[in-house]
Amino acid sequence: MLIYRQRYGTNDTGGLRAFPPGFNMVAGYPLFRSYTDTPRQQAITYACLQGEGAPAVPQTNGFPTRNCPAGLRTQVYFPSCWNGTLASPDQTHVAYPDGVDHGNCPESHPIRLISIFFEAIWNTPDFADMWYGDEQPFVWSYGDPTGYGYHGGFFSGWDVNILQPAIDRKCRSSLQHPHGSF
Structure confidence by residue, pLDDT tens digits, 26-63: 999 999 999 999 999 999 999 999 988 888 789 999 99
Residues contacting 26, CB < 8 A, separation 6+: 91, 151, 152, 153, 154
What is the reported pLDDT for 14?
A: 61
Alpha carbons 77 and 39: distance in angstroms, whole number? 10
Alpha carbons 175 and 22: distance in angstroms, whole number? 29
What is the reported pLDDT for 174?
A: 41
Q: How far is CA 135 from CA 26, 117, 120, in A?
A: 29, 28, 22
Structure confidence by residue, pLDDT tens digits, 64-123: 998 899 999 999 999 999 999 988 999 999 999 999 988 999 999 999 998 899 999 999
Delimit the domains of the chain by residue range.
2-176
- The alpha carbon torsion through 85, 28, 1, 104 (nearest 10 deg) reads -60
